[in-house]
Copies of this chain bind each other. A is one copy, B any other.
């Protein structure tokens, strides 16, 4: 059975403090600590591109796991900030990591829901094609498109990358997934003229309205119950949205993780970074993951420690 064997991640060392921008944006400590929950955002080096961050995540994965490039049969990158629009970033990584020719490579264009979607896409693609080892990269360095004077985005998003090794020797396997889209509202989170624009209130309202039902639904279709789920890993949109989901779904706060304080919202990498760094304790047997954002789009799943 295929599932997640191991995860590696990379968060660039560069930081911009939100406390240093209190005056510029007329914000308070309370806003930083309770509303967005992000003290500083991570920023990649100017010379680093999306594929470079992915390579560093892969190097970190290889410290934990001896992987031979020869074994990789599929390589997927989830991004909406590729190195180039043509070719796909997965092809660039294929060359850089010296993976053999017989490897399927493609990119998936999705934002904050991308990791959960991609878990289902890579698992089903590998199953259908008899593949046993695949790499799923997530990397969406929004610093490429953020206007430093835009309060709605520049205090929130941080750069980062993650790579998930999917294999037939899994630490986690997947249950059933939910997927959804509200395409009519796509303009609430859009990149135009190489600048990201976000209607933060509209994206918040969408999440607070749609996701509680979706989370109920994914618990139901997996024939489980909230008390049996050990951890809830929501996309780290902001502290306020994670807290709001916790309250609206009625979850005990100790089961919900928020870890974006020191780097920010890393888009599709937020969930794998938590899975890698915050859920060491093997008593976490059943985990609910839920991503939401750009599209507007969402996806949830229940994953199970083997």
Residues of A within 8 A of B (CB): 74-75, 80-82, 84-96, 99, 101-111, 114, 117, 120-121, 123-125, 127-129, 145, 176-177, 179-186, 189-192, 196, 210, 294-297, 299
Residues of B within 8 A of A111 (CB): 86-88
A120 touches B109 (CB 8 A): no
> How far does the alpha carbon of A23 sit from the alpha carbon of B127 in the complex, in Å?
53
B191 touches A103 (CB 8 A): no
The closest CB in chain B to the CB of A110 belongs to: B106
Q: Which of B75, B81, B179, B296 contacts A129 (CB 8 A)?
A: B179
A86 touches B190 (CB 8 A): yes
A183 touches B106 (CB 8 A): no
Q: A99-B183, A180-B101 are in contact. Are A81 and B85 (CB under 8 A)?
A: yes
Q: Which of B89, B110, B184, B190 contacts A84 (CB 8 A)?
A: B190
CB distance from A289 to the nearest CB of B (A): 16
Residues of B within 8 A of A123 (CB): 128
B299 touches A104 (CB 8 A): yes
Residues of B within 8 A of A120 (CB): 125, 128-129
The closest CB in chain B to the CB of A185 belongs to: B95
Residues of B within 8 A of A192 (CB): 84
> How far does the alpha carbon of A196 sit from the alpha carbon of B85 in the complex, in Å?
10
A106 touches B108 (CB 8 A): yes
CB distance from A69 to the nearest CB of B (A): 11
B105 touches A108 (CB 8 A): no
The closest CB in chain B to the CB of A130 belongs to: B176
Residues of B within 8 A of A94 (CB): 181, 183-184
B121 touches A180 (CB 8 A): no
> How far does the alpha carbon of A121 sit from the alpha carbon of B103 in the complex, in Å?
14
The closest CB in chain B to the CB of A180 belongs to: B101
A109 touches B82 (CB 8 A): yes
Q: Could you jot down 17 A-B contacts, CB within 8 Å?
A: A75-B181, A84-B191, A85-B85, A87-B111, A91-B186, A92-B186, A94-B183, A96-B183, A102-B179, A104-B117, A104-B180, A105-B181, A109-B109, A121-B121, A124-B125, A124-B129, A129-B177
Residues of B within 8 A of A114 (CB): 106
Given contacts A92-B183, A105-B295, A121-B121, 9 further A-B contacts (CB under 8 A): A75-B181, A80-B85, A85-B109, A91-B181, A102-B179, A103-B179, A106-B121, A120-B125, A124-B127
